[in-house]
Chains A and B, each alone.
Chain A
């Protein structure tokens, strides 16, 4: 069905189609060209979502549509400039600048252990003849508007394969740096874990220099990551979104799980004027474990949107979720969680909890936890609670000599950091805790002023 698209959105559509055509002119890979062309047709037809679309009611794209982000070559940066973004524990480092893989800033990925292969998607497109196998979930991805945009501008990302029983000694740390305004970092990642492989992945999204309120400095990151987890695989993922407060961030993750695989995905969100992180989990086997936690912090006029769609498609699946938001000033938080239990998925255990702390009278939370159950022998629950700090808690701490401001800080920290406990690796957990604590400290400084 042809939608009515506003003139402003029409301009944005025309811009992105021109960008896509420009990329196609310089491209020899036929299957890639085809993917982009299909996306062009979809974008022309659909435009961008508006508040009339149920899934975008609270996540306004007005600002996004007015900007016309471009896929440009990456800026040059030095390894010294990277230093402050690196964690304090040993990792294998992968660096993307403005959406492009940077080999010289990354660790030597040819030296990864046997059975582990890392390629940039751009290299994969250049070398291989037929890359259509890379696009197995295209029909799923293009159900999402930013999936369409991602396919339209598809150029780089990474393709990581672990063969049976393979694992990396160190966590893989993928640093995504935005350097310039007007830039679209368009990333498409694909991860494949063969039977019994194990991977710990950390993704961090940052801006090189914190910009002023200058419009020209805004940049956008749009990620699509596809993860295929074969039998008995173990996948642990931490995503930290800490871009500049002017930036935009969109991320759609498609995680396909086979029998007895386990997945833990943590999302920490602090940056960007508008961020939207979506997990699409397909539990397509027996005895699957799937855990999704998030800790979201927003201030000023930030909008932080995190959503999960968890499909239990087979028996004995276990999914656990805890999503926490701390909002202040005029921030808007959006949570949407769906657990679907197929008729076949008996003995499912699906738990989803969303809790939100509003530190100002003007912050707003929109939350929609949902269950759709077609099997009869399942244990599922979902819940959501939003509110201010319990004044009895504050008084209890005050009555022990702790200053009111410090009491609020302690309670807020504890609240936001609960989802972090899902991270087993102590070094990673402490690093995430430190990141979120720093974010809270800056929010609380503002609250006090």
Chain B
């Protein structure tokens, strides 16, 4: 098991968002987490990646045999957890290249690999840029500054490709993307799929999932997983919306 989340409960500003969430992800699996606005999708992504605005009040998370919740955000990243942001952050003045070289060498240090110098990094990065069919000037610019929405998301996928994580969490990476940008992101994800690498794709819409075709689909509502299934669940949701599932769940709990 790569990731095991048990009875996860978390709050922000004393408001409980996650109310006992369970999920298990094996190596190589692709899980989609869908749900209406306010269900707790982004909270789950942020709690797993270690943003300290959220407080975990109950539950356990094991990642690759370690207690994930005990680790700082940077250590989670170094151990192979990657978050693709819903809103990638602009950092004026910090070049994408310096940022990515520093990040890559941090992760390599954790894996006991030697740091890459500028030339080795350039070569390594160039291969990834080609793999993802991205613009070569990406590295020369400040982190996300002046990037379009699509470019920001692509930059995140590029970082994912460089860092070669074990678990990739995509937090509504598809939001705000036009169809071409969506395709580039999806192709990037598919190019990175492997027998060892797992994905959790958090999304509100089925668009991205049509390209990625997840193995497992979960519906998150009111801080809990209320229904799980295979890829067919995506189309069920597309036709009927969330209302039916939510209604079933509410009835069951009455």
Given contacts A399-B73, A399-B83, A403-B106, contact A418 B93 (CB under 8 A): yes
26 contacts between A and B (CB under 8 A): A390-B89, A392-B89, A393-B91, A395-B51, A395-B89, A396-B88, A396-B89, A397-B91, A398-B50, A398-B72, A398-B73, A398-B77, A399-B49, A399-B73, A399-B77, A399-B82, A399-B85, A400-B106, A400-B163, A401-B106, A402-B102, A404-B72, A410-B98, A410-B99, A410-B102, A414-B91
* Total residues of chain B contacting the partner, CB 8 A: 30
Of the candidates A390, A396, A404, A417, the one having the most CB atoms from chain B within 10 angstroms of its own CB is A396
Q: Does B92 contact A (CB under 8 A)?
A: yes
Of the candidates A401, A403, A418, the one having the most CB atoms from chain B within 10 angstroms of its own CB is A401
Measured in the bound complex, the distance between the Cα atoms of B92 and A411 in whole Å is 8
Q: Does A406 contact B (CB under 8 A)?
A: yes
Q: Are A401 and B110 interface neighbours, CB within 8 A?
A: yes
CB 8 Å contact bits of B77-121 with A (1 = contact, 0 = none): 110001101001101111000111011001100100000000000
Please indicate the chain A residues that have their CB under 8 angstroms from the CB of B106 in the complex.
400-403
Q: Does A64 contact B (CB under 8 A)?
A: no
Q: Does A118 contact B (CB under 8 A)?
A: no
Q: Quick one: closest A residue to B98, CB to CB?
A: A410
Q: Quick one: closest A residue to B85, CB to CB?
A: A396
Q: Are B77 and A401 interface neighbours, CB within 8 A?
A: yes
Given contacts A395-B51, A396-B88, A410-B99, contact A401 B78 (CB under 8 A): yes
Q: Does B236 contact A (CB under 8 A)?
A: no
Given contacts A397-B99, A399-B49, A410-B99, contact A404 B91 (CB under 8 A): no
Please indicate the chain A residues that have their CB under 8 angstroms from the CB of B99 in the complex.
397, 400, 402, 410
Measured in the bound complex, the distance between the Cα atoms of B82 and A403 in whole Å is 15
Measured in the bound complex, the distance between the Cα atoms of B78 and A400 in whole Å is 7
Q: Are B85 and A417 interface neighbours, CB within 8 A?
A: no
Q: Are A415 and B107 interface neighbours, CB within 8 A?
A: no
Given contacts A403-B106, A406-B102, contact A418 B89 (CB under 8 A): no
CB 8 Å contact bits of B54-70 with A (1 = contact, 0 = none): 00000000000000000
* Total residues of chain A contacting the partner, CB 8 A: 21
5 smallest A-B Cβ distances: which pairs? A414-B93, A400-B103, A401-B106, A401-B77, A396-B89
Q: Quick one: closest A residue to B84, CB to CB?
A: A399
Q: Does B9 contact A (CB under 8 A)?
A: no
Nearest Cβ in chain A — how far from B234, in angstroms? 27
Please indicate the chain B residues that have their CB under 8 angstroms from the CB of A392 in the complex.
89
Measured in the bound complex, the distance between the Cα atoms of B89 and A397 in whole Å is 9
Q: Quick one: closest A residue to B78, CB to CB?
A: A401
Q: Are B73 and A395 interface neighbours, CB within 8 A?
A: yes
Measured in the bound complex, the distance between the Cα atoms of B103 and A401 in whole Å is 6
Q: Are B77 and A410 interface neighbours, CB within 8 A?
A: no
Of the candidates A400, A402, A406, the one having the most CB atoms from chain B within 10 angstroms of its own CB is A400
Measured in the bound complex, the distance between the Cα atoms of B46 and A395 in whole Å is 10
Please indicate the chain B residues that have their CB under 8 angstroms from the CB of A404 in the complex.
72, 74
Measured in the bound complex, the distance between the Cα atoms of B98 and A248 in whole Å is 37
- A375-430: which residues lie under 8 A (CB-CB) from chain B? 390, 392-393, 395-404, 406, 410-411, 413-415, 417-418
Q: Quick one: closest B residue to A392, CB to CB?
A: B89
Please indicate the chain B residues that have their CB under 8 angstroms from the CB of A400 in the complex.
77, 99-100, 103, 106, 159, 163
Nearest Cβ in chain B — how far from A377, in angstroms? 30
Nearest Cβ in chain B — how far from A419, in angstroms? 10
Measured in the bound complex, the distance between the Cα atoms of B104 and A95 in whole Å is 46
Please indicate the chain B residues that have their CB under 8 angstroms from the CB of A411 in the complex.
91, 94
Q: Are A403 and B74 interface neighbours, CB within 8 A?
A: yes
Please indicate the chain A residues that have their CB under 8 angstroms from the CB of B88 in the complex.
396
Q: Quick one: closest A residue to B106, CB to CB?
A: A401
CB 8 Å contact bits of B157-176 with A (1 = contact, 0 = none): 00100010000000000000
CB 8 Å contact bits of A307-342 with B (1 = contact, 0 = none): 000000000000000000000000000000000000
Measured in the bound complex, the distance between the Cα atoms of B50 and A398 in whole Å is 9
Please indicate the chain A residues that have their CB under 8 angstroms from the CB of B49 in the complex.
399
Nearest Cβ in chain B — how far from A59, in angstroms? 28
- Within 8 Å by CB of B92, from A395, A397, A414, lies A414
Measured in the bound complex, the distance between the Cα atoms of B118 and A267 in whole Å is 31
Measured in the bound complex, the distance between the Cα atoms of B53 and A369 in whole Å is 35
Known: A395-B52, A399-B74, A402-B106. 8 other contacts (CB 8 A): A398-B50, A399-B77, A401-B74, A401-B77, A404-B74, A413-B94, A414-B94, A417-B93
- B21-56: which residues lie under 8 A (CB-CB) from chain A? 49-52
Nearest Cβ in chain B — how far from A357, in angstroms? 11
Please indicate the chain A residues that have their CB under 8 angstroms from the CB of B93 in the complex.
413-415, 417-418
Measured in the bound complex, the distance between the Cα atoms of B197 and A102 in whole Å is 68
Measured in the bound complex, the distance between the Cα atoms of B103 and A403 in whole Å is 9
Please indicate the chain B residues that have their CB under 8 angstroms from the CB of A395 in the complex.
51-52, 73, 89
Nearest Cβ in chain A — how far from B162, in angstroms? 9
Please indicate the chain A residues that have their CB under 8 angstroms from the CB of B52 in the complex.
395
Q: Are A418 and B92 interface neighbours, CB within 8 A?
A: yes
Please indicate the chain B residues that have their CB under 8 angstroms from the CB of A402 in the complex.
74, 99, 102-103, 106
Q: Quick one: closest A residue to B110, CB to CB?
A: A401
